[in-house]
A = this chain, B = another copy of it.
Amino acid sequence: MKIVETAHEMKLAAPVLASSSIEVRNEALRRVKTALLSESQRIFEANQKDLIAAEKNGVNSAVKKRLIFNEKKLEDVVAGIDGLIGLSDPIGKVLLDRILDDGLELKRISVPIGVIGVIFEARPDALVQISSLCVKSGNCAILKGGKETKETNRVLFQLIKNAVVAAGLPEGCLFQAEAHSEIDELLQCDQDVDLLIPRGSNAFVQYIMDHTRIPVMGHADGVCHTYIDRDCDLEQAVSIVTDAKTQYTAACNATETVLIDRCIAREILPLLQAAFQEAEVAVRGDQEILPLLEEYGFHFPEGMEPLMGEEDYHTEYLDKICSMKLVDGVEEAILHINRFGSHHTDAILTENQKTAERFMQMVDSAGVYHNCSTRFADGFRYGFGAEVGISTSKLHARGPVGLEGLVTYKYRLYGHGQKVGDYASGKSQFHFRDV
């Protein structure tokens, strides 16, 4: 069946899934967990095939590491499912309950978004996480994972799909796309697909955004900043910046640019140089800071110009490379971040509460942090159980997107024959009262 037909059938199944009880959706998750545990050998064998193919195809070691699905990964995804089962039902929540007039009651109630298309990287645990989140939130999902894990994904998806259908959820609630060409088909399904969540490289996400009329949730860039203020705790600042830059460089929430308050440059730079040398971080900077970086013996990246022009501050390295810049205090830091950042996650390091509040207020990002690492921007670390992605859009979900980001609401109005004409003519008046 073509994706467009699958999506159309899913659209019809969506209200059925949306009206399923939380008991059935939790039972589905329990069955998924049982299936994964009892069929673990089949999953591991499929994963071996993917790993052997990756070896043969010369897939690089960073990607290969993500392909692995072993006992440890299984434990993690099962713990994730247990966490999800424990969370309260995100749908059917009464967000507003207002009497408009005698016998005319308005309720705003959370409902699933409907049909979601998720295109994600080659990571088998991502498939389990995403499908579990969609089941719990009552959303139908079309899933397309990276081709490097196709054997593992096929087994995982079959186990998951069978488990949720056996629990009583509609047959058409989950679908796995396998061919790359199906992505372009999916982009055309704006009549039936309510939301796309692409995960992957900037270029890929931008391609999705440019080629569909379906709303897209996610982010193309993750240019995160850490600003070191004059009033910081120097030792703490060095330790946080090092974590933010190096704890996992390939993540979108890794710090890419370190802004340093000009008046403490000569205090912090030697400490930072020692930490960066140990962590093997190379640096780049503009005409002002570059001589200082040279003076203190920082390491520069290979095959890349250490001198940065202004526009270079938009760069997301996803590597052990860091843009450096001196700024004239918190105000210039705010201007720089709002201009060159990607509105993802930005941190200030300072012991001055007033300076911190100014930064937290004025920086226009999904996450603004005080005295901690930008790497905390993550659904699990926010206590959301899991995430389908991180959104830099300001509409609807912003930041890590878990269950709450997968629901919207609808208004229900309960009346007893009320007509607008009576209110327009003045025969009736509204008497608003929140319940």
With A114-B364, A213-B209, A408-B395 given, is the CB distance from A417 to B15 under 8 Å? Answer: no
A239-254 CB contact bits vs B (8 Å, 1 = yes)?
Answer: 1101110011000000
Indicate the member of A18, A240, A368, A410 with the most B CB atoms within 10 Å.
A410
State the oligomeric state as a number of copies. Answer: 2
State whether A367 and B413 are in contact (beta carbons under 8 Å apart), knowing that A19-B362, A420-B243 are contacts in the complex.
yes
* Cα-based distance from A113 to B100 in the complex (angstroms): 28
User: A266 contacts the other chain (Cβ, under 8 Å)?
Assistant: no
CB distance from A265 to the nearest CB of B (A): 21
Q: Shortest CB–CB separation between residue A111 and chain B, in angstroms?
A: 8
A421 contact set on B, CB distance < 8 A: 243, 247
Q: Are B420 and A194 in contact (CB under 8 A)?
A: no
A336–B408 Cα distance when bound, in Å, is 22
Residues of B near A381 (CB, < 8 A) are 100, 420, 423, 430
Interface 9-residue window, one of A33-41, A54-62, A118-126, A370-378: A370-378
Bound-complex Cα distance A239 to B416 (A):
12
Query: Which secondary structure dominates where chain A touches chain B?
Result: mixed
Q: Give the distance in Å from the alpha carbon of A71 to the alpha carbon of B239 in the complex.
A: 66
- A376 near B408 with CB under 8 A, answer no
Interchain CA distance A42-B243 in the complex, whole Å: 62
**In contact, B371 and A334 (Cβ under 8 angstroms):** no
A104-B372, A209-B213 known; A408-B418 Cβ under 8 A: no
Which residues of A from 341 to 393 have beta carbons under 8 Å from B?
Answer: 360-373, 375-377, 381-383, 393
Within 8 A of B (CB), among A378-435: 381-383, 393-399, 408-421, 423-424, 430, 432
A233 at the interface (CB under 8 A from B): yes
What separation, in Å, do the CA atoms of A362 and B369 have in the docked complex?
Answer: 41
- In the complex, whether A299 has a CB less than 8 A from a CB of chain B is no
In this complex, the member of A213, A370, A415 whose beta carbon has the largest number of chain B beta carbons within 10 angstroms is A415
CB contact under 8 A between A98 and B382, given known A15-B364, A417-B236: yes
Residues of B with C-beta under 8 A to A408: 394-396, 398
Are B217 and A395 in touch, CB under 8 angstroms? yes
Chain B residue at minimal CB-CB distance from A16: B362
Pair A411/B367 contact, Cβ less than 8 Å? yes
Q: How far does the Cβ of A343 sit from chain B's closest Cβ, in whole Å?
A: 9
> Other than the known A215-B215, A398-B409, A398-B410, what 6 A-B pairs have Cβ atoms closer than 8 Å?
A113-B394, A194-B394, A366-B411, A367-B410, A376-B415, A382-B411
Binding site for B on A (CB under 8 A): 11-12, 14-15, 18-19, 98, 100, 104, 106, 108, 113-114, 194-195, 209-210, 213, 215, 217, 233, 236, 239-240, 242-244, 247-248, 334-335, 338, 360-373, 375-377, 381-383, 393-399, 408-421, 423-424, 430, 432
Q: Which 8 A-B pairs have the closest CB atoms?
A: A372-B415, A243-B419, A375-B420, A383-B432, A396-B396, A395-B396, A236-B417, A372-B418
What are 24 pairs between A and B in contact, CB < 8 Å?
A: A11-B338, A15-B361, A15-B362, A19-B361, A19-B362, A195-B395, A236-B417, A243-B421, A247-B421, A360-B412, A364-B410, A370-B413, A370-B414, A371-B418, A372-B418, A372-B419, A373-B418, A376-B418, A381-B423, A382-B411, A383-B432, A395-B395, A395-B397, A398-B410
